[in-house]
Amino acid sequence: MMGKQLLLWLLPRLAWTYLQCVGKTSRILWSGTEHVRRLQSLHTRWIYAFWHGRQVFFLYSHRRQPICTMVSRSRDGEWISRVITCFGMRFSRGSSSRAGAPALREMVQWAARGFYPSMTPDGPRGPARQVKPGVLYLAQKLGWPILPIANGMRRKLIFRGWDDYWVPLPFNRVSIVCGDPLWISQTDSLEERAQELKRALDEVTEQADRNGCG
């Protein structure tokens, strides 16, 4: 038990140190920030959405920002939640397959405290790059737009699985792309809007890959 507790304390801090090294030795290119400025001019907040396999560098690129993200209740989720905390973010434990509704309610509560929700619409188990309805429900509940965002990079480790999980390497070139915000009204067809969000996320991901490898 003591060994597990030590690992739960140590490994998230090692992950934080590693990502600090990656970020500080990498060239980071931003695109689409005009979409963020437009939302700021409207005095509205938004919900970040990105594919599950690209979530690692998001921790560094948005460190110390008031962000709350949804983390599954799996054993892996316990590690991830502790890493998220090291970067100054908050989390809500739940997923589409387990405790999704309570987690979404908690996300609404975090939003009321000034946090920006972030979600991986295809997580935690896939299918890859298929939008599940949780982020759309949250957008309807809050009345906030969804901001598609992606990162692409020249140097990475790819852990082959359902999502081909990317871990960035130091001394890198990283592209971060923000897309056009997607507003979800109470009368929208969520199936149609899910397809629109998928297309938007695929587009920013492809652009990030082109820019990051250029």
**Domain residue spans in the chain?**
2-213
Q: How far apart are CA 180 and CA 160, in angstroms?
A: 30
- Examine the pLDDT at 95 and tell me if it is beyond 90: no
By the 10 Å C-beta count (0-12 exposed, 13-18 middle, 19+ buried), 64 is classed as exposed
Yes or no: say if 118 and 59 are a contact pair by the CB < 8 Å rule. no
Respond yes or no on whether the N-terminal peptide bond of residue 127 is cis (omega within 30° of 0). yes
pLDDT-based confidence at residue 5 (cuts at 50, 70, 90): confident
Q: How far apart are CA 206 and CA 212, in angstroms?
A: 10
Q: How far apart are CA 208 and CA 79, in angstroms?
A: 27
Per-residue pLDDT, 170:
98
In this structure, whether the domain defined by 2-213 belongs to CATH 1.10.10 is answered with no
Q: How far apart are CA 145 and CA 93, in angstroms?
A: 22
Per-residue pLDDT, 79:
84
Per-residue pLDDT, 130:
97
- Examine the pLDDT at 3 and tell me if it is beyond 80: no
Q: How far apart are CA 54 and CA 122, in angstroms?
A: 11
